[in-house]
Amino acid sequence: MRALVTGGAGFIGSTLVDRLLAEGHSVDVVDNLSTGSLANLAGARSSGGRGLSVHSLDIRSPELVDLMARRRPEVVFHLAAQADVRVSVAEPVFDADVNVVGTLNVLDGARAAGTGRVVFAASGGTLYGEPDPSDLPVRESLPHRPLSPYGVSKKAAVDYLVCYRELHSLEFVALALANVYGPRQDPHGEAGVVAIFAERLLRGQPVTVFGDGEQTRDFVYVDDVVDAFVRAATRGGGLVCNIGTGRETSVNELLAVLAAVAGVDVPPIHEPLRPGELLRSSLDPARAGIHLGWQPWTTLEDGAAAVLEFVRSRLDGAPA
Ligand SMILES: NC(=O)c1ccc[n+]([C@@H]2O[C@H](COP(=O)([O-])OP(=O)(O)OC[C@H]3O[C@@H](n4cnc5c(N)ncnc54)[C@H](O)[C@@H]3O)[C@@H](O)[C@H]2O)c1
């Protein structure tokens, strides 16, 4: 398969690139390196270098359509995004420019290239707004009511995918991702609570827990998420599929698992709950099971161990 991965130098995108190259596919990466890094592609460049081309380009750039028309990818994995909820609140025009206008540019590139299918990284954590606890784990049939500009721009991208499927027969699967964690996640980012906790624990520093720590998230491991992307390259169509575990894990539980695996015990600092923070979240993955044959198989303990190993090796090479 000839694949093009937007956001391929990012946390999830680079893990997807590794998997595609390992399966013998050829991969074009488009990334403007705003939050991603070429370091994430170091392994891919050395081991699978022959099948990989990296294009340092903004998805909003008109050059993207020409590039895609030349490279003619059969499948486009669209992961490049402004992915920070707080940035979207502070700069909604910038957020929409990248996530809506940028996505349209990718879709026009796909049309120019004769691409058969787009697999899109949607956001399950924001798509359904603040669901009633009785609706957990959330199914795709729940109304889509995003409460942040980021959630709205991601939803708009899904609406355009539906529209382009009707208008231009461009097939798509939109994966509504839960809280993805794993090696390479940016510990300085907003959403990387697992990476942030892992780094602080390994430094012997206390972690900050907002509120009582009983708020829940659905933590899904990056390799499992990448598996869903690969499956969606050939299966399903015209669908939003939740990619989560269906399990709620509280922040306290997460911290306990990480501390136990790391073998450290540092009491957390508590700060008031941040305004607008979602209290409970989990996504029902049954539809992904039926249409993609997907299920999450990595336990939180195994995933936590992989993150701790990654952060430990990074800290060994970095000044404390
Ligand atoms: N990590 C999560 O928990 C999570 C949850 C739901 C959805 N998602 C979505 O998954 C995708 C990947 O997220 P991630 O966690 O790997 O984040 P990331 O920040 O590591 O990856 C995003 C990549 O897109 C690139 N990028 C940003 N703006 C660009 C632009 N204008 N042109 C070209 N490239 C650009 C960045 O440089 C980066 O490499 C995003 O679309 C995000 O919204 C992530």
pLDDT in tens, the chain (320 residues): 999 999 999 999 999 999 999 999 999 999 999 999 999 999 999 875 679 999 999 999 999 999 999 999 999 999 999 999 999 999 999 999 999 999 999 999 999 999 999 999 999 999 999 999 999 999 999 999 999 999 999 999 999 999 999 999 999 999 999 999 999 998 876 668 999 999 999 999 999 999 999 999 999 999 999 999 999 999 999 999 999 999 999 999 999 999 999 999 889 999 999 887 889 999 999 999 999 999 999 999 999 999 999 999 999 886 54
Rounded Cα distance between 133 and 274, Å, is 19
Angstrom distances, CA of residue 318 to CA of 40, 113, 199 = 16, 43, 12
Give yes or no for residue 198 CB within 6 A of ligand 1: no
Give yes or no for residue 41 CB within 6 A of ligand 1: no
Atom of ligand 1 nearest to the CA of 33: 37
Give yes or no for residue 176 CB within 6 A of ligand 1: no
Residues in Cβ contact with 206 at an 8 Å cutoff, skipping those fewer than 6 apart: 200, 266, 267, 268, 269
Catalytic residue flag (residue 160):
no
* pTM reported for the whole predicted model: 0.97
Atom of ligand 1 nearest to the CA of 126: 6
- Are 130 and 184 in contact by the 8 Å Cβ rule? The answer is no
